[in-house]
Chain A
């Protein structure tokens, strides 16, 4: 991969000279512990990675999977301390005891790392090509390191190999001029520049669209196969790990609870946690459906919805151009209906939700709201919205009781208190939750609070914008079940906007597939899954990793 031959580099660590471990494993970790001021976050983690082997670490947030990876390269944040031992073949010292100077000869040369958030992983004020070239110019004996121009050319070549369209232009671009997938390729290029023996990937595709995720994952496995690069792949997505890795480690509360070949662990999980995780991530059996109301009333009808945004003029007298986020969309929501709107970023799905809820006005087209509550004055009693991020959508200075009671006419009355208790019970939270603040709850609990808040004014339409994409797998199913149950009990219409096809399949009867502001396909969920008519729908469905 590297235009600079790694074999010729001979400073502190020489992969040819020092044999590393006896067993022939590339990476050997024993008794890895990470603690924050005495509080253990990772405990006694031990595993090996063979040469060219792809090992997955599966776990939910807080399981310690990212800390484990960061500890290996000495990249832990301040206040975190790692202990134990980690030997990498070709490195004469223990990675876990080494200082910054020693580790800097390993990082980027023998072990590369790719991070979760491609939006922030690159320096915004430095050209992308220079950031890739940097990895080349940092390693190798002084005097033999490539010059500025040589490294720049090599970086362009590297970006090309990672299939960035027009690599020369991408190298000159600043990160903000590239898409998320393109940025992640650039980060990957930096990590692979010196042809490392080990590539550590920390949720590298979690922030990306499914189709882009597939491209990046194919790229990683391709490089691994071609160059014999071992991969340590960290993810919360079991199906994704299954499609990438040979072997898998399951982490829970800072410990490895189960490990083994992917096939074995996913087919015959031994540990109860693995079993629970597996059943929670399986959304292929749809949630129980309510019987459809006899004569469903139409609650919300959108006709020819179009939304254009004016782009800033280029220059004082430049022509005014527009960006069409949504074009000519028709949608009807009847009582008891469950509609899923699916699309990738930029498909217009969030714009649609904003228009339906009256948070934004269409450029043309109409929204007829028979649910009550005027959509033009924002979400009213008849129509409520649950938003994506349960961290940001609840006022941190309001008690749960006040959050839920806010839309009620008489917030301080005993009747309101009763209603809050009833709603909390509905979403499966204890009554004493009312007196606490949002930050005292986990993400899944907060999203349930958000649902309770949305239900408070007794709406007949519930709109949900990516209601579970910020949540862990194990709570995802709970939240979806709550959504399913409460809407069924009330004969409400539910419209879920999401990028996650699994959520739609689990929750919805009808699906609308969107791309670039237009509907490409719509129909009953079963039909669309079995016989997708549009090539884009097929592409989407194929891009989703599935557990076989």
Chain B
């Protein structure tokens, strides 16, 4: 409990610092939103009027305070370009990206856990070497290439699954699921290949631990001993990688969103950067930063749950 409070407190501090850094960076960058909206031929008076209505003529500190205060209420401001409120746009997109990231990680874990454990347990057999080789090759494949290959095989050739697009879950669950399969696979298989390596090495380490032998000396058979005693111990290092990967996937879903034409957060980010819609960029970045921070805190708390040695400190 104390750990929980401490980690949450440090999360808040990090979030505040991050918001400050994000704001500072985007304010320093050249590109006046008013100029972007009105074009290069605008008169000074029109510009000043627009700046005043955007609030960008105020001192930076005031702008920051205003923005940050809005964030606390879930108000991300109003887009300079489309004049929509930014908050709902981000939350729509965040939902899509979360489904994609979670689906991708689910694929990765479902693939990596058995593959990693088997590769470790069979590390002296050809089957284990084969699993290692496959995962090695998987690491070398970029996610977008995996995506294109999957589209070619399953959508173009077999015609079994849609090649892209997105339907919200509430509208049509079946279409939603069908459209997410290929993106999640292309995201997940590559991450899964990486994760397999870590699972394998964690299980290999555990395989040679004395307590596994003790468990067998008590009458546990080989595989149950690995399951009951080995895996809970191997989970600790694997969790670290899993947390890092979830962050990577959240932020890195951009590419896969492009390949599969999915309206996710990454897609919104790229579009806003192209449009110079700085307030949207700012909002998306801060949401991603907070998401990564939350993943880190959750990983940390899970550590404490998994390893009693960390708890009694």
> Which residues of A does B touch, CB under 8 Å?
73, 75, 77-79, 100-101, 104-109, 112-113, 115, 117, 120-126, 131, 134-135, 138-139, 174, 176-177, 187, 190-191, 193, 312, 315
Contact = CB atoms under 8 A, between A and B. Distances in A.
A120 B219 contact: no
Contact of B306 (A100, A104, A125): A125
Given A121-B211, A174-B308, A176-B308, A73 B217 contact: yes
Contacts of A312: 313
Nearest to B212: A123
Contact of A104 (B2, B209, B219, B229): B219
Nearest to B308: A174
Contact of A122 (B208, B214, B219, B228): B214
A509 B207 CA distance: 48
A112 B221 CA distance: 15
Contacts of A117: 210
A177 B124 contact: no
Given A123-B233, A138-B220, A315 B2 contact: yes
A124 B217 contact: no
A74 to B, nearest CB: 8
B309 interface: yes
Given A123-B233, A125-B308, A176-B309, A112 B217 contact: yes
Contacts of B232: 123, 125-126
Contacts of B228: 134
Given A75-B217, A120-B209, A122-B214, 11 more contacts: A100-B222, A115-B210, A115-B217, A124-B211, A125-B233, A125-B308, A134-B215, A135-B218, A135-B219, A191-B217, A191-B218
How big is chain B's contact interface, by range?
Answer: 20 to 34
Nearest to A119: B210
B52 interface: no
B130 to A, nearest CB: 18
B210 A120 contact: yes
Nearest first, the 7 closest Cβ-Cβ pairs linking A and B are: A108-B219, A108-B218, A120-B210, A135-B218, A113-B217, A174-B308, A138-B219
Given A75-B213, A115-B210, A125-B233, A109 B308 contact: no
Contacts of A187: 214
Contact of A100 (B211, B213, B221, B236): B221
B44 interface: no
A124 B220 contact: no
B220 A134 contact: yes
B84 interface: no
Nearest to A127: B308
Contacts of A115: 210, 213-214, 217
B307 interface: yes
Given A104-B221, A109-B219, A121 B214 contact: yes
11 contacts: A100-B222, A107-B219, A108-B217, A115-B217, A121-B211, A125-B233, A134-B228, A135-B218, A138-B219, A190-B217, A312-B313
B58 interface: no
Given A124-B308, A174-B308, A312-B313, A104 B220 contact: yes
Nearest to B229: A123
A125 B307 contact: yes
B216 interface: yes
B217 A101 contact: no
Contacts of A73: 217
Interface of B: 2, 124, 208-211, 213-222, 228-229, 232-233, 236, 306-309, 312-313
A187 B214 CA distance: 8
A79 B218 CA distance: 22
A139 B219 CA distance: 8
B308 A107 contact: no
A135 B213 CA distance: 13
Among B124, B211, B222, B232, max chain A CB count under 10 A is at B211
Given A120-B210, A120-B211, A123-B233, A138 B306 contact: no
A177 B313 CA distance: 11
A476 B248 CA distance: 55
A395 to B, nearest CB: 25
Contacts of B313: 312
Among A75, A79, A315, max chain B CB count under 10 A is at A75
A124 B233 contact: yes
A529 to B, nearest CB: 37
Contacts of B218: 107-108, 112, 134-135, 138, 190-191, 193
Contact of A78 (B124, B217, B308, B309): B124
A124 B309 contact: yes
A112 to B, nearest CB: 7
B215 A123 contact: yes
Contacts of A104: 216, 219-221
A427 B217 CA distance: 43
B230 to A, nearest CB: 9
A191 B215 CA distance: 10
A545 to B, nearest CB: 25
Given A125-B232, A125-B233, A312-B313, A101 B221 contact: yes
A174 B221 contact: no
Contacts of A120: 209-211
Nearest to A186: B214
B148 to A, nearest CB: 41
A101 B229 CA distance: 18
A176 B312 contact: yes
B211 A107 contact: no
Contacts of A131: 214-215
Contacts of A122: 211, 214
